[in-house]
Amino acid sequence: MDNIYYLGPDGSNSHNAMLKFMDLNITEIKNKIPQKSIKSTLEALEKDENSVAVLPIENSIEGIVRETIDNILKLKDKDIKIQGELTIPIKHILLSTGTDRTKIKKIISHPQALSQCSEFLYKNYRHAELKEVSSTSYAAEKVSKENDDTLAAIANEACAQLFNLNVLANDINDEKDNKTRFYILSRHSLITKANGKTAIILSTKNKPGALCDVLKIFAQYDINLTYIDSRPSKKCLGEYMFFMELDCLENDIKVKNALDKLNEYVNFIRVLGSFFIYN
């Protein structure tokens, strides 16, 4: 494989997920290429036959990453499939160029990171100024450049190393079980293990109980849904598509049978990928 694309900049959680994937994956990949957005990561993958992309799909606090689903649906090349998933822990830490945590007067980070550490901030830095910036790695870079020991960033361990910053406080998330799940996308299959999932998107017929009929079919074939989410059809308010993950592979006979049966009940169905879990 030639290239791997991910949501940059370096030090981002997607960058960490990409590094974990490179550790676990056996195929050699030559270049690591950061991208500016989820959209541009998938566009790069689409233009490059022999490549892989790593994108966040779900965080345990914030929920599904809609931009990833919506942009996967826009892919013109239907040979690009979800080929794997992996999960990394999200640990926020407080970083500064100084070492005295009582000196801090201003803290910068991505709005989600600030919000996920609000109890810590309220308890320890009630009077500090909080400022939102576009990413946690940008916050760490800014703190490193400004070299002002009253300024701190909330970011991750990778950023501490990358920007040579001191850790003033570790593991400052309010919720300790903060994790993000990533999809690995490619035209080529990557690993084969026993433990697999299938991701699909479908739109039900517009009649009462239509979603219930769909779920009954999965129950009937003993297929467990591990995720369900509604996305707007983008045609009119109140018309939805459903994104679902099933706990088995597409080539499992029960999935084949359920998908056949489903055709009677849905307007549209598409398998986005059948994939294994790197963990």
Residue 105 vs 216, nearer CB to a second copy: 216
Residue 166 vs 233, nearer CB to a second copy: 233
Residue 120 vs 240, nearer CB to a second copy: 240
Is position 219 an interface residue for a second copy (rule: CB under 8 A)?
yes
Cis amide bond preceding 56, omega within 30:
no
Residue 277: beta bridge partners? 85
Among 20, 66, 101, 131, binds a second copy (CB under 8 A): 66
Is position 238 an interface residue for a second copy (rule: CB under 8 A)?
yes
User: How many residues of this chain bind a second copy (CB under 8 A)?
Assistant: 37
* Residue 221 Cβ vs a second copy, minimum distance, rounded to whole Å: 11
CA distance 75 to 238: 24
How far, in Å, are 213, 230, 242, 259 from residue 264 at the CA level?
10, 20, 16, 10
CA distance 228 to 219: 14
CA distance 13 to 91: 10
Residue 84 is encoded by which pair of tokens? 């794997």
Residue 61 vs 271, nearer CB to a second copy: 61
Is position 234 an interface residue for a second copy (rule: CB under 8 A)?
yes
Is position 237 an interface residue for a second copy (rule: CB under 8 A)?
yes
Among 227, 254, 261, 277, binds a second copy (CB under 8 A): 227
Residues 158-187 that bind a second copy (CB under 8 A): 175, 177, 179, 181
Among 23, 28, 79, 222, binds a second copy (CB under 8 A): 222
Is position 224 an interface residue for a second copy (rule: CB under 8 A)?
yes
- DSSP secondary structure string for all residues of 2-47: -EEEEE-STTSHHHHHHHHHHHH--S---EEEEESSHHHHHHHHHH
The region of 16-24, 48-56, 96-104, 222-230 touching a second copy under the rule CB under 8 A is 222-230
* Residues 98, 103, 108: CA angle, nearest 5 degrees: 75
Residue 177 is encoded by which pair of tokens? 């079980």
Strands of 60-193, DSSP E: 63-64, 81-89, 93-96, 106-109, 129-132, 151-155, 166-169, 179-186
* Residue 177 Cβ vs a second copy, minimum distance, rounded to whole Å: 5
Q: How are beta strands 106-109 and 151-155 bridged, if at all?
A: parallel
* Residue 249 Cβ vs a second copy, minimum distance, rounded to whole Å: 17
Site residues for a second copy per CB under 8 A: 58-64, 66, 87, 175, 177, 179, 181, 208-209, 211-212, 215-216, 218-219, 222, 224-232, 234-238, 240
